[in-house]
């Protein structure tokens, strides 16, 4: 396993590219437009510079890490990849196109993985003729900091591919946890309904944004409150996960109307400059 292509240079894809390059892999960072790739690289550069300032990396390490990342705006570049990690938008139609193209472009040995936060791995695998070599690698936000990778087996994922990804995740400094394919897997099935409930609590006027977050931070020792965390994840992503849970598991998981309203308004959290908090 030498070369990893990361598709999507947003907050998750950029973070995955960074940790892969830090772990000495050659990384191809791909997005549909050069400006998106450039923006992702800019964030990686900033993260690495901060680590240089803190004395955690040397300036030379930083240059070497950046030197291992190649920019790409063509899926054809996946021909050089031993592993693809797809971290594009959470839309099954787009994933179907990407995975069916990758299946044609990539050599037979290439493993195709997805960082989807809740879409079924088995269905994504079925867009290819290599469902045994398709697997979920669900990283947590912010990727450079969070230890977990949920490694999700689709129905047809082979044991060999699972083992390879388990070893690779460890080599990237992460702790892999094996999970089967089900709506929201484990992390988001447990976490996201709590975020949704916090939004409902706000919607019903039970407490202010700050009070809800303080209750969970001070009362449960959570590092950040649920509304701040929803802003960090992105409210569009929170909504799309709730929709998958609602469809797959029933009414208990109905998205809060206030969440829908914020998404419609474009108040998507940190990345939009406004969510439950403002981000100047």
**Is 109 among the catalytic positions?**
no
CB of 58 to ligand CAA, least distance (A): 15
List C-alpha distances in Å: 251 to 115, 194, 195.
26, 15, 16
> First CA to last CA across the chain, in angstroms?
41
Q: Which is closer to ligand CAA, CB of 205 or CB of 223? A: 223
Catalytic residue among 118, 188, 196, 240: 188
Catalytic residue among 30, 47, 72, 117: 117
Residue 141 known to bind ligand: yes
Residue 117 known to bind ligand: yes
Sheet with 83-86: strands ordered across: 69-72, 26-30, 3-7, 83-86, 111-114, 134-139, 148-153, 175-180
**Is 45 among the catalytic positions?**
no
Please report, as ranges, the residues that interact with ligand CAA according to CB under 6 A: 47, 50, 54, 117, 140-142, 144-146, 187-188, 191, 223-224, 229, 233, 237
CA 131 to chain centre: 21
Q: Which is closer to ligand CAA, CB of 154 or CB of 234? A: 234
CB of 145 to ligand CAA, least distance (A): 4
Q: Which is closer to ligand CAA, CB of 158 or CB of 260? A: 260
Q: Which is closer to ligand CAA, CB of 70 or CB of 141? A: 141
CB of 268 to ligand CAA, least distance (A): 13
Residue 113: closest CA among 164, 76, 77 = 164
CB of 172 to ligand CAA, least distance (A): 15
- Using a 10 angstrom Cβ sphere, with 0-12 exposed, 13-18 middle and 19 or more buried, the burial of residue 254 is middle
Catalytic residue among 150, 169, 196, 240: 150
CA 128 to chain centre: 21
Catalytic residue among 30, 115, 118, 138: 138
- Using a 10 angstrom Cβ sphere, with 0-12 exposed, 13-18 middle and 19 or more buried, the burial of residue 2 is exposed
Residue numbers in the known binding site for NAD(+) are 8-13, 31, 90, 95, 117, 141, 271
Question: Known catalytic residues?
Answer: 117, 138, 150, 188
């Amino acid at each position: 396993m030498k070369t990893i292509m990361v598709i999507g240079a947003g907050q998750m894809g950029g973070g995955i590219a960074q940790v892969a390059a830090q772990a000495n892999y050659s990384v191809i960072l791909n997005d549909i437009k050069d400006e998106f790739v450039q923006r992702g690289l800019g964030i990686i550069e900033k993260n690495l510079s901060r680590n240089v300032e803190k004395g955690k990396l040397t300036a030379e390490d930083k240059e070497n890490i950046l030197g291992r990342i190649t920019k790409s705006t063509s899926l054809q570049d996946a021909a050089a990849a031993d592993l693809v990690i797809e971290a594009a938008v959470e839309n099954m139609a787009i994933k179907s196109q990407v995975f069916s193209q990758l299946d044609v472009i990539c050599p037979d040995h290439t493993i195709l993985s997805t960082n989807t936060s809740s879409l079924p791995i088995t269905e994504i695998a079925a867009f290819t003729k290599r469902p045994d070599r398709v697997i979920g690698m669900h990283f947590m936000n912010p990727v450079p900091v969070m230890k977990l990778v949920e490694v999700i087996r689709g129905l047809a994922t082979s044991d060999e591919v699972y083992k390879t990804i388990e070893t690779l995740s460890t080599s990237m400094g992460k702790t892999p946890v094996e999970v089967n394919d089900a709506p929201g897997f484990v992390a988001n099935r447990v976490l996201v309904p709590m975020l949704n409930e916090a939004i409902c609590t706000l919607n019903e006027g039970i407490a202010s944004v700050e009070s809800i977050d303080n209750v969970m931070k001070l009362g449960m020792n959570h590092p950040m409150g649920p509304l701040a965390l929803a802003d960090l994840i992105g409210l569009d992503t929170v909504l799309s996960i709730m929709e998958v849970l609602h469809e797959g598991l029933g009414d208990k998981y109905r998205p809060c109307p206030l969440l829908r309203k914020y998404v419609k308004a474009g108040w998507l959290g940190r990345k939009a400059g406004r969510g439950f908090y403002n981000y100047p």
